Amino acid sequence: MHGKKHIGNLGDVNPVHGSRYVYAPQEKTDDPYMEVVCEIEDVPEGEPNFLVYGFDLERFQLLEKDNHLYLVVQAWEPDWPYPLATYDEWFHEDLGVIAECCGTSLKELRRCFCSADAMERAFAWCCVGDYHGFENLDSYPWKLTKAELEDRYADES
């Protein structure tokens, strides 16, 4: 058990079947947090055969300047030192294709990233992870055996 308050799932509640767990922030200043379980194929018996990617569900704001939209962190302020375009999220230029792959619209996916609702942001972040790979959201996932995985999520399923 990891001490975080579980607030919802995207996907199967059984971690062995690829769950996506959403947790409340630890502190008021923190973002909600998510863990995504992925099975590793063709692993020798006894070796870890699951990856658990963990990442914050950062909230964004959508800003327009010179007829261009930018998806930037919620904390962004106009007095920040660099041009607004430098703060545009790395995946924003691909968001139309990402939305299409997730069966939603660009407008809806942008709205989800800007939402105060953790579950809506979790959906948006999962779309990015499904498209670009979750290793782009967490470069150092946990490697767990099936028993370790089931123990870790015993209270959530």
Instruction: Give the per-residue pLDDT at 1.
Output: 43
Q: pLDDT category, 30, cuts 50, 70, 90? A: confident
**DSSP 8-state symbol, 5:** -
Mean pLDDT of 121-147: 96
Share of residues in the chain with pLDDT > 90 (%): 76
pLDDT tens for each residue of 62-101:
999 999 999 999 999 999 999 999 999 999 999 999 999 9
Number of H helices, E strands in the chain: 4, 7
- Say what the pLDDT of residue 66 is: 94
DSSP sequence for 136-155: GT-SS-EEE-HHHHHHHTTT
pLDDT for 45 beyond 90: no
18, pLDDT greater than 60: yes
Look-up: residue for tokens 């922030």? 25
Check residue 27 and give its pLDDT.
80
Question: Does the pLDDT at position 3 exceed 60?
Answer: yes
Q: Which neighbouring-strand residues pair with 95?
A: none
Q: Which phi and psi (to 5°) does residue 94 adopt?
A: -95, 0
Whole-number Å distance between alpha carbons of 45 and 34: 28
Q: Which helix (H) or strand (E) holds 119?
A: helix 118-132
Residues 8, 22 contacting (CB under 8 angstroms): yes
Give the pTM: 0.91
Q: For residue 113, give the nearest of 134, 128, 101, 102 by alpha carbon.
A: 128
Which span out of 12-26, 106-120, 142-156 was modeled with the highest average pLDDT? Answer: 106-120
Q: Check pLDDT > 80 for residue 156.
A: no
